């Protein structure tokens, strides 16, 4: 009797176990469970380098290693940096994805590097369904929140009649569009113009974190002297500004003139004698002249000398007096002769033609008079002596 009761109890226990297991199997059969940690985030680029103000794009794959579809919530942790970011998929902002089993979905993470940021490495984290993807950005240089104005070649050289051309870059390192007034602090008489895209301008607009190329043309005044001239350039508004400086090295123009104080280019001289002429050698250019030599082309037998023969230096716009001595040949016949005077420097030369009128010597005139008187006296003597016979 006892054995029969024990067998009956075991039967009820087995039946109850089968019933419980069947119910459990029936409940789970509606939706199979996915294995823990089946979602993975993947990108080949975990650390990227960028300058301040740049934009970084991460291509991230959300992978479902499970056999069933997973609804994955997406989030991004900026670690308190305050950097702007956006997660998109299919061209739209996304915060949750459905990923089929054994499949993946792409997500784009756009990360904006601030302008005003310190140089260094910044860490971030993307989360998806319990999966964590650590990311980092290496900021390559110290950030700023300002305007920058630079030139590739700030120094140019040319003559005073040249146009000096410069190329400048105006960078807006701020988060707002800026309108800049362009100014040049040049000396009176200098002409400075700004050009944007071939159009002369006095102001330009630059987008946030953008830049603009500006051409600068400089023309010096006609009377400018040789030298190096610095011209401050600025781009400014009420909130930000930037300055730079350009240089124009003017070599000047070369000019030379030979003449006299009264501009008279004629004189006279007696054959065999000499005449002193005061010459003016003038530097009509804008650059100094050095080692100015004087020479003359004169008729045969004539002699022309200068004091001084060489002028060491004549400043731009200045003049130097030189004494020329012209000595005519003693056998020169009366008439007009040409003496060509030349002043020459290594950079420039000038000529002046002098008309010299030669007069006969007074000695020959007196000798002629004496001969005439002697002949007349001889005739008179002969007439007195032999005339009565």
Choosing from 250, 284, 314, the residue where a domain stops is 250
Instruction: Return the pLDDT at 388.
Output: 54
Q: Which of 288, 375, 294 is nearest to 341 (CA)?
A: 294
- Structure-model confidence comparison of residues 335 and 379, the more confident one: 335
Q: Is residue 371 part of a domain?
A: no
Instruction: Return the pLDDT at 369.
Output: 78
Choosing from 119, 139, 159, the residue where a domain stops is 139
Instruction: Return the pLDDT at 366.
Output: 66
Q: Is residue 342 part of a domain?
A: yes
Dihedral pair phi/psi, residue 315, rounded to 5°? -70, 160
pLDDT digits (tens, 9 = 90+) for 167-223: 999 999 888 899 999 999 999 999 999 999 989 999 999 998 899 999 999 999 877
Choosing from 202, 232, 250, the residue where a domain stops is 250
Burial (CB < 10 A; 0-12, 13-18, 19+), residue 317, is middle
- Structure-model confidence comparison of residues 37 and 129, the more confident one: 129
Instruction: Return the pLDDT at 358.
Output: 87
Residue 288's domain spans which residues?
A: 256-361
The total number of structural domains in the chain stands at 3
Q: How confident is the model at residue 37 (pLDDT cuts 50, 70, 90)?
A: low
Q: Is residue 375 part of a domain?
A: no
* C-alpha–C-alpha distance, residues 243 and 222, integer Å: 27
One domain, residues 159 and 245: yes
Q: Is residue 90 part of a domain?
A: yes
- Across the range 99-128, mean pLDDT stands at 93
Q: Is residue 117 part of a domain?
A: yes
* C-alpha–C-alpha distance, residues 218 and 120, integer Å: 42
Q: Is residue 23 part of a domain?
A: no
pTM of the model: 0.51
Q: Is residue 199 part of a domain?
A: yes
pLDDT digits (tens, 9 = 90+) for 302-342: 999 999 999 999 988 899 999 999 998 888 888 889 999 99
Q: Is residue 280 part of a domain?
A: yes
How many other CB atoms sit within 10 Å of the CB of residue 137? 22
CATH number of the domain to which 203 belongs: 2.60.40.10
Instruction: Return the pLDDT at 115.
Output: 84
Is the separation of the CB atoms in 170 and 194 below 8 Å?
no
Mean pLDDT taken over the chain: 85
Instruction: Return the pLDDT at 296.
Output: 92
Pairing of β 155-158 and β 241-250: parallel
């Amino acid at each position: 009797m006892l054995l029969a009761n024990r067998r009956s109890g075991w039967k009820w226990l087995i039946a109850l176990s089968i019933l419980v297991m069947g119910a459990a199997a029936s409940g789970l059969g509606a939706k199979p469970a996915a294995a823990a940690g089946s979602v993975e985030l993947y990108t080949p680029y975990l650390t990227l380098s960028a300058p301040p103000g740049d934009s970084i794009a991460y291509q991230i794959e959300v992978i479902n290693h499970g056999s069933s579809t997973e609804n994955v919530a997406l989030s991004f942790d900026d670690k308190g940096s305050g950097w702007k970011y956006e997660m998109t998929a299919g061209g739209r902002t996304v915060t949750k994805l459905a990923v089929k089993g054994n499949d993946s979905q792409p997500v784009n993470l756009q990360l904006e590097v601030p302008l005003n940021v310190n140089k260094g490495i910044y860490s971030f984290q993307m989360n998806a369904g319990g999966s964590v993807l650590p990311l980092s950005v290496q900021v390559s240089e110290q950030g700023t929140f300002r305007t920058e104005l630079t030139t590739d070649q700030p120094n140019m050289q040319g003559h005073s009649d040249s146009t000096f051309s410069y190329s400048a870059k105006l960078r807006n390192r701020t988060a707002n569009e800026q309108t800049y007034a362009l100014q040049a602090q040049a000396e009176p008489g200098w002409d400075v113009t700004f050009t944007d895209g071939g159009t002369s301008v006095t102001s330009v607009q630059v987008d946030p974190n953008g830049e603009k190329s500006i051409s600068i043309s400089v023309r010096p005044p006609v009377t400018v002297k040789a030298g190096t001239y610095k011209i401050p350039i600025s781009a400014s508004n009420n909130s930000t500004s930037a300055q730079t400086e350009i240089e124009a090295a003017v070599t000047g123009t070369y000019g030379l003139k030979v003449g006299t104080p009264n501009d008279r280019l004629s004189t006279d001289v007696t054959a065999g004698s000499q005449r002193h002429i005061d010459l003016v050698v003038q530097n009509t250019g804008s650059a100094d002249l050095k080692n100015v030599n004087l020479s003359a082309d004169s008729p045969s037998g004539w002699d022309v000398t200068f004091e001084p023969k060489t002028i060491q230096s004549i400043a731009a716009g200045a003049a130097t007096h030189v004494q020329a001595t012209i000595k005519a040949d003693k056998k020169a016949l009366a008439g007009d002769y040409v003496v060509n005077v030349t002043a020459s420097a290594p950079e420039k030369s000038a000529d002046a033609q002098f008309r010299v009128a030669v007069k006969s010597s007074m000695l020959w005139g007196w000798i002629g008079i004496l001969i005439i008187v002697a002949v007349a006296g001889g005739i008179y003597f002969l007439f007195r002596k032999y005339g009565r016979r």
